[in-house]
Structure 1
Amino acid sequence: MLSATRKSLSLRHSIFAPRHLLMAALMAFFVAASFVPAIATSAPGAHDEPLTIYLVRHGQTDWNKEGRLQGDTDNSLNATGRSQAYANAEALANVQVDHIYPSGLARAIETAEVFAARAPITPLTMLNERSRGKYEGEVAEEVADEFRPRFTDLDDDMDGGESLSSIANRVGLATREIVASHPSGTVMIVGHSGVNPLVIAELIGISPVKAIEEIRQGNDEVIKLKVFPNGHVSMWKMVQEHELEMF
């Protein structure tokens, strides 16, 4: 069983607003709506504070830069990826984190280690990225027409990779274990483009297909979630200044 203590923080304060960063809503729907998550929460009155989750994607690798489908190939961060990790650590300098859960892959662990002085790190292989099967290492744009329909098919393992239903089950289990071990306070999950949307899916009760098709997170972006005792979930995304034209 996982364990830690915690402290909750508010987005309204300056922890997410250094000179070069700004908070923006991930989606108006996510921020405004309340969800009944798939995860069972504590009974009303068991605790007053929500669980705060900082959902971080690992920094850039050479394969990210080249637009290759990385999957569970165990690549390390490149120089840009390390800079991205340190920039996020600076932006979150005032956040007190109780525990950090990266996947078991090097790029996630290396990103988490930038925050290591703040909290214990426990790698979880259940958060590893999904194998892309025969498409692993291919340039995404070159195989997109064939790859995308297969990637969002629940039962397609893409010829030797992992199906969406399989990764959704294991990421859902990891998410439930983390929430059960941390009914309140603050944790950080360091995952992947094919993993973090499934963490969100588990928390807010949407399908894995919808999550994979609609939720996007760059290598230098952080998503903050608050999971309340009554089952409501609120979400925000931290974006870099160069991305503000998107909003």
Structure 2
Amino acid sequence: MALITEGSIKNFTIEANTESHLKNDASRKLRSFFELEELSADNKNLNYELSVSEEKRGLALKSFKLNKSFEDFISTIFNPSNEIYFIAWSYDLSGQPVHYYPGEGINPQDVVINVKKGKLTEFIGDGINLFPKRQVKGGIAVRLFIWESDQKSRDLGETLVNISNAISESELNNVLSLVSLATGVTGVTINLIEKAALELTKVIGTILKMDKNDYVDLFEGYYAADTEWKKGLDSYTRESSEITLNKY
């Protein structure tokens, strides 16, 4: 379960498909997945178009801080710094495959960063790219896993390969492709997306747990396509960590 959350996939936005709604004025006013799911049984099969953002949007991890409360005082004495790595995946409903950080063919040594508790770690430029800048359809969904690396664990490189394979072969990728080919979205479509996204999260979580590393936090965020994209930094703080995202 995510400890840090922003929005919900229910907030992804839709627009009335003129051909489907000529005789149903009330249905024209629906704007979100949540409202679409609340339709009466008689209207469940009405199709809607996905909203598209006016501008191109990107999302990045700009900074990270491991709070001093992450481990007790004794462990801090013997281990003043921690090796942290991030696993992230994101998507919209344009039909593009799931975007994955750190991606394929990455040297595991380039993924792990040494972090001192209580000290802010900032990333150059826009930050670590979580969602590549482009016009967004429906909305942006992103999940960011934060883990502490154990030097005694099995090869992190193998873990990264397994995660990459899990994403590329996931049902979520199949569903996203199907949505892009469909003439519109319905309540059934939403359920398929949610189910596939949850299953992928479970699969990736299982792979990471097998590596016997320590879980730190999970961020889960959703940004609807038709809402204002306020460029800049957003920070989220929990007991174990603090992250700052850059909306650019």
Whichever structure has more strand as a proportion of its residues is 2
Whichever structure has more helix as a proportion of its residues is 1
By the TM > 0.5 criterion, same fold? no
TM-score (norm 2): 0.31
TM-score (norm 1): 0.31
